[in-house]
Amino acid sequence: MRILLINPNTSRAMTAKIAEAAREVAGPDVLIQAVCPATGAEAIESHTDEIAAAAAVIEAIAADRAGHDPADAYVIACFGDPGLDAAREIVDAPVVGIAEAAMHLAAVSGRHFGVVTTLGRTLGRAEDLVSRYGMERACVSLAATGIPVLDLEDTGSEAVTTIEQYGARAAADGADVIVLGCAGMADLCTELTERIGVPVVDGVAAAVGMASGMVRMGLGTSKRDEYARPSRAWAGFAGSGAAVGVGAGAGAGAGAGAGAAAGAGSGAAAADRGRSRAGGRPTDAPVHVQRPGDAPAGPAVSTVAPPPQPADATAFA
């Protein structure tokens, strides 16, 4: 079984880290091939970035299908699940987004969960996904740490501590499970579970498990109505670049990456630090509210009743 793991930003370092996390949970008969676009958004931190990310996802999948041995399933390794619906239109194979997989698994692991993500500007998208996936009652909090995505390429102790503090606050406010809201946090799952004391779900691992399970069940993407094949084939973007793969099996696929797109700057990231908002039903009171610039200094206090990798190689050109 081969799963194509698509990191839709251009960071090879993050792609390698995500691939490692995926391989830790994949079975011995599962080959994880991780790819990222050669050009496009450095990090997916805005709606503009998400357009480039969605294009990168579609181009990677379309090119893989044009190869001699297409993947058995696809995982979109970005918490905004960019291009998920379009990807499901163009293949019969399973396509799993990490946010969707993480939320569903968290809802099985506990009654309520909280999401801890990167920048405050991404909270709206996360809230949209909570609603789309029918998780309004299960999700009791959405919190932004203010950590830019690319800072997670090499996760240091300061970032881990910050994520832990927000996770602990969410747990104190009623979350039985914590969902990590960025693929770049994939390597922190075990450590944060031990630190916070409740299960912590990494969407990359959750999506790989779900995708491989679907393949074993013979369950693919329905071609009735919404996910029927589009009447016009994907033509790609003018100016699209090549894409690169990382790790085992990196030379097996074929395709192209998305065109350039602007990313959020470090100034915006600093302004976003510490923002959070409540999930759940519209009538729910905020689970916790932080002023920009404030981060939890100690143990969280509830304010509301709990409702063997080879070197990088060209994957496709």
- The reported pLDDT for the residue numbered 251 is 42
> 3: which 2 tokens?
């799963």
pLDDT of residue 235: 72
Nearest to 10 by CA among 238, 250, 239, 246: 246
- Residues 49 and 41 sit within 8 Å (Cβ to Cβ): yes
Residue 95 pLDDT > 90, yes or no?
yes
| pLDDT above 50 for 186 | yes
Identify the band that residue 239 occupies on the pLDDT scale cut at 50, 70 and 90: very low
Per-residue pLDDT tens digits for 4-43 = 999 999 999 999 999 999 999 998 999 999 999 999 999 9
Interval 303-313 mean pLDDT = 37
What's the pTM? 0.79
Give residue 299's pLDDT. Answer: 36
**DSSP conformation class of 150:** G
Q: Residue 133, SS3?
A: coil
Only one residue has tokens 């690169």, namely 244
pLDDT the model gives residue 158: 86
* Tokens of residue 153, six digits: 């390429």
pLDDT at 80: 96
Q: Which of these ranges, 30-44, 95-109, 126-140, 241-255, has the smallest mean pLDDT? A: 241-255
Distance of CA 253 to the CA centre of its chain: 22
Tokens representing 255 are 């395709």
How many C-alpha atoms does 186 have within 13 Å on its Cβ side? Answer: 28
pLDDT at 249 over 80: no
The pLDDT, as a whole number, for residue 61 is 96
**What is the mean pLDDT of the segment spanning 107-128?**
96
Question: What integer pLDDT is reported at residue 154 of this predicted model?
Answer: 76
Check residue 231 and give its pLDDT.
86
d(CA 33, CA 59): 15
**CA 289 – CA 291 distance, rounded (Å):** 7
Task: Output the pLDDT for position 155.
Answer: 67
CB 144 within 8 A of CB 291: no
Highest mean pLDDT pick, 46-60, 142-156, 295-309 = 46-60
Most confidently modeled range among 235-239, 244-248, 262-266, 304-308: 244-248
As a whole number, mean pLDDT of residues 235-253 equals: 55
Of 128-142, 242-256, 286-300, the poorest mean pLDDT is in 286-300
Which H or E run contains 192? helix 189-196
pLDDT at 212 over 80: yes
Q: What is the mean pLDDT of residues 185-210?
A: 96
pLDDT recorded at residue 192: 95
Count of C-beta atoms within a 10 Å radius of residue 157: 7
Taking phi first (over 0 means left), then psi (-120 to 50 degrees means alpha), and beta for anything else, what does residue 221 get?
beta
- Residue predicted with more confidence, 213 or 266: 213
- Pairwise pLDDT comparison (251 vs 1), residue with the higher score: 1
Please, what's the b/e burial string for 227-250 (b: 16 or more CB within 10 A of its CB; e: otherwise)?
A: beeeeeeeebbeebbebbbbbbbb
b/e per residue 203-214 (b: at least 16 CB within 10 A): bbbbbbbbbbeb
- Percentage of the chain with pLDDT > 70? 73
pLDDT score at 233:
76
CB atoms under 10 Å from CB of 125, counted, come to 20
